[in-house]
Chains A and B, each alone.
Chain A
Amino acid sequence: MLTANNTLRTTQIVRIQTESPSVKTFMFTDRLCSKAKPGQFLMFWIPGIDEIPLSIMDANNDLVSVSVKSVGDATRHMHSLEVGATVGIRGPFGNSFTESRGRVLLIGGGTGTAPLLFLAKQLASKTQRLSFVEGAKTKSELLFVSELGGICQERNIITTTEDGTAGLQCLVTVPLVQLFDKEHFDMIYTCGPEVMVKKIFEMTEKHKLPLEASLERLMRCGIGLCGSCVIGKYRVCRDGPVFTAAQLREVREELGVFKIGFDGSRIPF
């Protein structure tokens, strides 16, 4: 019933990297999470402050990375942590992206790019062509641009910013219109704000393209008990966080429409 993964382990931050003005990557050792697959997440305990779910951005040779945007109390505290700080880890939890071959497209919005970078590294040698569309508010918030450049060919990367400081000036979904009209993809993966995921889902449905989307919800237990992260009949922490197009069809009425708040009420997006 209870698993080693769910046992809280303490570890130290061994490296911190600044990715953008609002995003930092934290690296630490953890035997269990170092075996995580792209798409899985962990619960990160900032002692005395909070415990938050984070997508795993990289895992190899015992070293685990998570990228975090400073958006609230917990993440602001996390950004103030220094190398050597003691933190707690539970996980890895949830399912992972499936492996695909052929022509593959990854679409990342904001920090949603982090788990997709992890996935891209694993897919790079296995796919016929790996394309990436990344969107951010502004140039300085476009994440992992050089890393992606090392994985995908330059012509297969499209970036968008809302203010036009880099790439196309539009939302990340805009270049997809043309892309889906002229090209076929064997698999599309996405992670980002739920409203973005919903839009992408509608587009892939229209073009009958396969999709796997990673969702994010408020979480407490991380092991499928408390019901805080449910979408329809699914628990994001346990049945997800990666959902197929077929599953998204079942939760169409909730996807990008509302989430469950900490008091259990429905909060519109």
Chain B
Amino acid sequence: MDNNLLSISFAGLQLQNPTVLASGVLGYSAESLSRVVKAGAGAVVTKSVGVAPRVGYPNPTVVQAQSGLINAMGLPNPGIDVYAEEIRFSKTILHVPLIVSVFGYTSEEYASVAKKAVDAGADAVELNVSCPHVKQTGAEIGQNPKLLTEIIENVKARINKPLIVKLSPNVTDITILAKAAIEAGADALTVINTLRAIAIDTETLLPVLSNVRGGLSGEAIKPVALRCVFDIAEEYEFPIIGCGGVSNWRDAVEFFLAGACAVQIGTAIAEDVEVFRAVTKGVESYLRRKHYRNVKEIVGLAHRK
């Protein structure tokens, strides 16, 4: 693969290619992350980690919808003190940027987890302020510009690595949250987290997920994610990582054209872990066919009038 064609840097991170493992997928263990890197990912984001261990919700935690998946895992994680060891080990075997996803219930929690993640070797931190199915964290913060600002400022003051903020689509106007994040000092935005959703079974008359509500991912949300990226890119020249329903090179290119400089891939792994390589190769062919010299040349091109 031609690295000059695909390499991209933003927010102080250098990626050999613009595909990134999305948080929540295969992100517990160093060995799983390593497999994703071998499958061609240019960077990886871990599952979200907080101050203390959480077992998450009982099953069912995943249910299939038309063209998508609804999940409510409930932020299962071993807590940063245990996970720091996994971060350290991951750094010894991964040769791509390791981005640690962080969640908390207070800005102090976000800051202390982020600090420990960076101390353990994280190349960047992604704030999960958009988990749609855990109360008092995630989306509740991500829907409130004031809270979001406070958290970002607190985290930024404690770490010297890039800070990425993952935005929730479950808001009236995502650009308001993007503005708050950018002004508070975020280095990049991941756009978007899952959409709040529900699945109901007609025979038992019950919501399927144990948590009742979950977050929708996959193909179904791609047009929404693309619109969110487009909305933000229209107003701000800022590094955006597109996320939502990317499963092939064309999806990725659409995100680049909308204004993203990289894409995260998650649900498509259900088909094949090798999706990263397939997307990267496809993007490379596209760039050659269109005579572009680097992926960054097409970022935001759909905004040309």
Taking Cβ atoms with an 8 Å cutoff, the residues of A that contact B are: 1-2, 6-8, 10, 43, 45, 47-48, 50-52, 86, 88, 90, 220-228, 230, 232-233, 235, 260-265
Known contacts A230-B29, A230-B32: does B53 contact A88 (CB below 8 Å)?
no
The contact sample of 7 A-B pairs, CB cut-off 8 A, is A47-B204, A50-B210, A221-B62, A225-B270, A226-B73, A227-B47, A265-B53
Q: Which residues, 193 to 214 on B, are CB-close (under 8 Å) to A? A: 199, 201, 203-204, 206, 208, 210
Interface residues of A, dominant DSSP:
loop
* New contact pairs (9) apart from A2-B218, A50-B210, A233-B35, CB-CB < 8 Å: A2-B69, A50-B60, A88-B208, A226-B24, A226-B25, A227-B26, A233-B32, A263-B55, A263-B77
Chain A residue contacts of B53, Cβ below 8 A: 263-265
**Is residue B68 within 8 Å, beta carbon to beta carbon, of the partner chain?**
yes
Assess the B47–A264 pair: CB atoms within 8 A. yes
A211 to chain B, nearest CB (A): 22
Taking Cβ atoms with an 8 Å cutoff, the residues of B that contact A are: 24-29, 31-32, 34-35, 47, 53-56, 58-64, 67-69, 71, 73, 76-79, 82-83, 199, 201, 203-204, 206, 208, 210, 218-219, 247, 266-271, 273
Assess the B267–A225 pair: CB atoms within 8 A. yes
CA separation between A222 and B82, bound complex, in Å? 25
Assess the A264–B26 pair: CB atoms within 8 A. no
Assess the B268–A1 pair: CB atoms within 8 A. yes
Nearest residue in B to A12 (C-beta to C-beta)?
B203
Known contacts A8-B208, A47-B206, A224-B270: does B67 contact A264 (CB below 8 Å)?
no
A91 to chain B, nearest CB (A): 12
Chain B residue contacts of A224, Cβ below 8 A: 26, 269-270, 273
Assess the B204–A10 pair: CB atoms within 8 A. yes
Chain B residue contacts of A2, Cβ below 8 A: 64, 67-69, 218-219, 270
CA separation between A232 and B38, bound complex, in Å? 14
Chain A residue contacts of B268, Cβ below 8 A: 1
Known contacts A1-B247, A221-B61: does B34 contact A262 (CB below 8 Å)?
no
Residue from A1, A6, A220, A260 having most chain B Cβ neighbours under 10 A: A1
Residue pairs across A and B with CB atoms within 8 Å: the count is 128
Chain A residue contacts of B71, Cβ below 8 A: 221, 226
Chain A residue contacts of B32, Cβ below 8 A: 227, 230, 233, 235
Known contacts A1-B219, A230-B31, A264-B83: does B201 contact A223 (CB below 8 Å)?
no
CA separation between A8 and B206, bound complex, in Å? 13
A152 to chain B, nearest CB (A): 36
Nearest residue in A to B271 (C-beta to C-beta)?
A1
Nearest first, the 7 A-B pairs at minimum CB distance are A51-B59, A265-B78, A10-B203, A262-B55, A51-B60, A47-B204, A263-B53
CA separation between A227 and B46, bound complex, in Å? 11
Assess the B26–A235 pair: CB atoms within 8 A. yes
Assess the A48–B204 pair: CB atoms within 8 A. yes
CA separation between A51 and B62, bound complex, in Å? 10
A250 to chain B, nearest CB (A): 10
Known contacts A1-B219, A1-B270, A265-B53: does B203 contact A225 (CB below 8 Å)?
no
B85 to chain A, nearest CB (A): 9
A234 to chain B, nearest CB (A): 8
Chain A residue contacts of B218, Cβ below 8 A: 1-2
Chain A residue contacts of B27, Cβ below 8 A: 227
Assess the B203–A264 pair: CB atoms within 8 A. no
A47 to chain B, nearest CB (A): 4
Which of B28, B35, B55, B64 is close to A7, meaning CB atoms less than 8 Å apart?
B64
Known contacts A1-B270, A226-B61, A265-B53: does B82 contact A8 (CB below 8 Å)?
no
CA separation between A101 and B102, bound complex, in Å? 52
Chain B residue contacts of A1, Cβ below 8 A: 218-219, 247, 267-268, 270-271
B68 to chain A, nearest CB (A): 7
Known contacts A10-B204, A262-B76: does B31 contact A220 (CB below 8 Å)?
no
CA separation between A265 and B201, bound complex, in Å? 33
A233 to chain B, nearest CB (A): 4
CA separation between A221 and B29, bound complex, in Å? 17
B36 to chain A, nearest CB (A): 10
Known contacts A225-B267, A233-B34: does B206 contact A6 (CB below 8 Å)?
no
Nearest residue in B to A226 (C-beta to C-beta)?
B73
Known contacts A263-B78, A264-B76: does B31 contact A233 (CB below 8 Å)?
yes
Which of A52, A88, A226, A227 is close to B62, meaning CB atoms less than 8 Å apart?
A226
Residue from A48, A50, A51 having most chain B Cβ neighbours under 10 A: A51
Assess the A230–B28 pair: CB atoms within 8 A. yes
Chain B residue contacts of A228, Cβ below 8 A: 28, 76
Assess the A227–B68 pair: CB atoms within 8 A. no
Chain A residue contacts of B266, Cβ below 8 A: 225
Chain A residue contacts of B25, Cβ below 8 A: 225-227
Which of A10, A235, A262, A265 is close to B82, meaning CB atoms less than 8 Å apart?
A265
Chain A residue contacts of B28, Cβ below 8 A: 227-228, 230, 260, 264
Chain B residue contacts of A220, Cβ below 8 A: 56, 59, 61-62, 73
B187 to chain A, nearest CB (A): 27
CA separation between A230 and B29, bound complex, in Å? 8
CA separation between A8 and B63, bound complex, in Å? 7
